[in-house]
């Protein structure tokens, strides 16, 4: 059995692994969890003894098969709860994260499977992130950051990289939601901003926004 703290570390390492795929550094974990590097070292030792991470001093960690499964399962729960909150309890996509952070640690296989069924076995959470299946597998879809699109390319908005409530509320105000069609009208080289077409309206998008919005090209 793993404590909430241990689960949070596994989850952090799992997320970091998706980007870098080599040894995950102590500092990067500390930053992600807003804690101190020394605390990370301590926890890593414990997780290593429990065989859920492989640890070589000064060279970072990576998850074992088992660690990866546990992390994926926590993420599965987090994302299913997010869908539940939005679909069944009228939460908006910018309100769900903190509550899901709590709910993801509830231990009851039946509970999460029933939630899954109640929701109709969703494949993605309200931010467009894929939901791992019971075995921890997740199918990634082919998506690109808006910032990587060229002039005249178009696609459908399928996800966000940053899911802070500030960013999500910003998108709401601009009328940008998942599923919307977006076309790049112009890329401005001097500030990397974009001019896009959404709902037949022209919109100016800063570099920062373009770096946090995922598009599935069509």
Partner DNA sequence: ACCTATTTTTAGACAAGTCTAAAAATTATT
Partner DNA sequence: AATAATTTTTAGACTTGTCTAAAAATAGGT
Residues contributing to the site for DNA (CB under 7 A)? 3-6, 25-28, 35-46, 55, 57-60
The torsion region of residue 149 among left (phi > 0), alpha (psi -120 to 50) and beta comes to beta
Please say which residue, 55 or 91, places its beta carbon nearer to a copy of itself. 91
For residue 74, give Cα distances in angstroms to 21, 106, 166: 20, 9, 24
Residues 71-90 that bind a copy of itself (CB under 8 A): 85, 88-90
The minimum distance between CB 132 and DNA, in angstroms, equals 23
Report which secondary-structure segment, H or E, holds 117: helix 109-118
Query: Which stretch in 12-20, 21-29, 58-66, 111-119 sits in contact with a copy of itself by CB under 8 A?
Result: 111-119
Interacting residue with a copy of itself among 102, 123, 137, 177 (CB under 8 A): 102
- The residue within the footprint of a copy of itself, chosen from 114, 123, 177, 218 (CB under 8 A), is 114
Q: What whole-number distance in Å separates Cα of residue 100 and Cα of residue 193?
A: 33
What are the start-end ranges of the E strands in the chain? 53-55, 61-63, 144-145, 154-160, 181-188, 193-198, 201-205, 213-217
- The pairing of strands 61-63 and 53-55 is antiparallel
- Would you say 23 or 208 has its CB closer to DNA? 23
109-118 and 65-89 helices cross at what angle (nearest 10)? 50
Q: How far is the CB of 115 from DNA (least distance, A)?
A: 25
108 binds a copy of itself (CB under 8 A): yes
Using CB distances below 5 to 8 A depending on partner kind, what does residue 136 bind out of DNA, a copy of itself, none?
none
Name the minimum Å distance from CB 183 to a copy of itself: 36
Alpha helices in 21-108, H assignment, sequence order: 26-32, 37-49, 65-89, 96-103
* Closest CB to DNA among residues 38, 164: 38
Per partner kind, with CB cut-offs from 5 to 8 A, the member of DNA, a copy of itself, none near residue 43 is: DNA
Q: State how far the Cα of 204 lies from the Cα of 202, in Å rounded to an integer.
A: 7
Least separation in angstroms between residue 214's CB and DNA is 28
44 binds, among DNA, a copy of itself, none (CB under 5 to 8 A by kind): DNA
| Coil/strand/helix, residue 213 | strand
């Amino acid at each position: 059995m793993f404590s909430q703290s241990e689960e949070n570390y596994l989850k952090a390492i799992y997320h970091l692994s998706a980007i870098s795929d080599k040894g995950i550094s102590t500092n990067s974990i500390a930053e992600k969890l807003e804690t101190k590097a020394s605390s990370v070292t301590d926890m890593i030792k414990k997780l290593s003894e429990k065989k859920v991470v492989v640890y070589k001093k000064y060279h970072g960690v990576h998850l074992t098969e088992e660690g990866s499964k546990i992390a994926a399962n926590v993420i599965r729960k987090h994302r299913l709860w997010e869908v539940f909150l939005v679909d069944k309890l009228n939460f908006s996509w910018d309100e769900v994260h903190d509550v899901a952070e709590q709910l993801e640690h509830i231990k009851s296989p039946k509970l999460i499977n029933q939630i899954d069924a109640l929701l109709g076995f969703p494949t993605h959470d309200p931010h467009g992130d894929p939901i791992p299946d019971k075995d921890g597998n997740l199918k990634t879809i082919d998506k690109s950051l808006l910032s990587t699109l060229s002039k005249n390319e178009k696609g459908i908005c399928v996800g966000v990289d940053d899911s802070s409530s500030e960013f999500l509320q910003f998108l709401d105000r601009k009328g940008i939601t998942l599923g919307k069609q977006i076309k790049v009208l112009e890329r401005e080289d001097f500030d990397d901003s974009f001019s896009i077409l959404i709902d037949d309206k022209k919109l100016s998008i800063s570099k920062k926004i373009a770096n946090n919005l995922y598009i599935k090209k069509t």
